[in-house]
Each structure stands twice: as structure tokens, then as C-alpha cells.
Amino acid sequence: MNGIVYPYGSSHLIDTQNDTIYLPNKIEKANFARLKDEIPATTLLQLSGGIDSAYVLWKWLKENPDKYCLVHHIVLINREKRHEKELEACDKILRWLDSQGLNNYFYIQNTFDYGNMTEVIWDVEICGFLAGVLLRADRWKNVDNILLTQYDRNTEREMSRRQILRTTARRNINFIYKLDTMTKQQVIEDMPKELFNICWYCRTPINGRKCGNCMTCKTVERANKKSIDDAYKNFLSGL
């Protein structure tokens, strides 16, 4: 931790003044965050700002009021240029969760920027690596579970994510795929409408708006339309 505390969830339990260390210039000091009463988080979730991770987080916080989740967002800067919209969505989602009394989590954020490197690996591999880095910290040593929000755990990219995460974390982690028995439509139908409306799902925004053409725009719009159509049919059949 570099001492930055974000105003979400249970961040009031983090004390940045407890520990300091001198930098190599022997003049300046850096602060380390530490929990005031050492409540350990047990579970990690990487929140992208999209529907799937927002849904899984909301459900877990609701179903596990006595446990703490470590919520991690990566500001992932690549040629698709959606990082600002995703960060904006995370801010809205976390504020909404707090407004619902669901504040049993700690929030960590960092940035990965491709710069002028060629993009040759999957985003989930970057997520796996950074999750591993996060879990190496002594402070998160009780985090044994990671909630994953992919619908299929048996893809090459998921296997790669798990391998990278285990190697970096240097310990065994339980990978829990919460959506592997669900469809996108079921997720949309099961989540509060308010939450759905503040998520960001477009991969390639144009001037800050959803493009309507990318794979995730089409998948979400199709599932949402089917959900509305089904609800309307059910309503008519009940008349």
C-alpha cells in the first residue's frame, strides 16, 4: 500500500499514519496503510465496472455480511480507451453499494498502462498477475478465495489467468466461478435495475458513449431486450 485510501466501503478502518519507512534519500518518509483492528478480508473480487463483476460483488456482500471482500480495480489503459468510463462506473457502483449499507469491503486500485507496447496478452492475464501481486502482501494473507465472473472456466485464457495468479501469489487460491451456471440474461434479471443502469459494458466507447457495435454492447443489449420481451410476455399471459 502506498498510503492512498479511497472513500469507499470500510476504508475508515484503514489507518495510513501507523507505519512509516524512510525512503533511500533518508529524508522523506512513505506511509503504509494498516487496518486499525485487523479485520481480515477472505475473498478477492476484481471489479471492472461491468455488469458481471458488479452483480457478483453485490450478491456476495449481501450474502456475507460478516465477512470482508477485497475489491480491486485495475485502470487498464489500452488502445480500446475505455478505462475512464470503467473507473467512472466503479465509482458509481461503490457509492451505490455504500448507500445500500453494503460496505463490508476494502478497495484497492492501481493502473496498468500498455504505453507504446504491443498488446499481445489477454486482459485476464494482466488481472491474474496483478491479483497475485496484491495477494503477496502480508496484509491480505487471509484471502484464500477469488470470485471470478466468467461464464466458462475452461477456456485457454482462464487457465492462463489461474496459472499466472498462482505463480505470482505463491500459494493456493480457490477459484470460484460464480456465473458458470447462469446466462447473461439471468444476471441482468437478478440484479437491481439501479445497479444495472450504472454499469459500463462497452469495450470501445466513441466520444464517451457506448458504441453499440462491439461484442459486449451486442451481448448485453440482446440479453436485456430478451429479458424485457419475456417479462412483457409473462405479463400478458397473466392477464
| Spatial separation of the C-alpha atoms in residues 178 and 60, rounded to whole Å | 10
Output 1 or 211, the one with its CB closest to Zn ion. 211
CB of 77 to Zn ion, least distance (A): 18
Sign of dihedral through CA atoms 199, 203, 206, 210?
negative
CB of 201 to Zn ion, least distance (A): 7
Which candidate, 183, 192, 217, places its Cα nearest to that of 203?
Answer: 217
Task: Give the C-alpha distances (Å, rounded to integers) separating 47 from 56, 89, 90, 111, 218.
Answer: 9, 10, 7, 13, 21
CB of 220 to Zn ion, least distance (A): 9
Query: Which stretches of the chain bind Zn ion, using CB under 5 A?
Result: 202, 211, 214, 217
| Spatial separation of the C-alpha atoms in residues 217 and 220, rounded to whole Å | 5
DSSP, res 127: H
Output 14 or 90, the one with its CB closest to Zn ion. 90
Output 198 or 211, the one with its CB closest to Zn ion. 211
CB of 105 to Zn ion, least distance (A): 28
Rounded to 10°, the helix 123-135/156-169 angle is: 20
CB of 83 to Zn ion, least distance (A): 14
Output 176 or 217, the one with its CB closest to Zn ion. 217
Output 173 or 211, the one with its CB closest to Zn ion. 211
Output 119 or 221, the one with its CB closest to Zn ion. 221
CB of 88 to Zn ion, least distance (A): 15
